[in-house]
Amino acid sequence: MALDDLYREVILDHHAHPRNRGRLEPNDVAVEGANPLCGDELMLYLNLRDGRVEEVRFEGHGCAISQASASMMTEAIKGRTLDEVRALVAALKGMMRGEEPGEEVGDLIALQGVRKFPVRVKCATLPWVSLEQGLDEYAAR
């Protein structure tokens, strides 16, 4: 499948049917993210256990790309170790900067299509930047 088609199909599917949407209470991590340029707002919740992401949910509103990226992210990180999650965040951010992604990005390769729309890159990275911030705050406690 061409990347353009994959991009459209995956983004539209996650936008129409967001995965892991909702609040998580109680939670170990609750972090807010915003992309004022586009009006995207996001709340991200995580529960961690034994160094892994046991549960993850998100709430928010904004453009299809930001919401789809958040939905895809929750699927990608659930059950992963924190080291794996941080590696994935780095890979995703690198990919959005124009680096060639490795296999670890999996289905997230679809987000590569966003690079053609530079003003939307921040929409796609918003959930990932928020996730990193939440993990940093958690680690600093």
Residues in contact with Zn ion by the rule CB under 5 A: 38, 40, 62-63, 66, 123
For Zn ion, the closer CB: 15 or 52: 15
Nearest distance, CB of residue 80 and Zn ion, angstroms: 25
Q: What's the CA gap between 117 and 111, in Å, rounded?
A: 11
Residue nearer to Zn ion on the CB measure, 42 or 48: 42
How many CB atoms neighbour CB 30 within 10 A?
16
Least Å distance between CB 12 and Zn ion?
15
Pick 8 or 137: Cβ nearer Zn ion:
8
d(CA 124, CA 66): 5
Angstrom distances, CA of residue 76 to CA of 39, 55, 107, 117: 24, 12, 8, 23
Evaluate whether 124 touches 26 at the Cβ level (below 8 Å). Answer: no
Cβ distance to Zn ion smaller for residue 57 or 122: 122
Q: Which residues pair with 138 in a beta bridge?
A: none
Structure tokens at 69: 């990226």
Q: How far is the CB of 11 from Zn ion (least distance, A)?
A: 11
Rounded to a whole number of angstroms, the minimum distance from the CB of residue 51 to Zn ion is 32
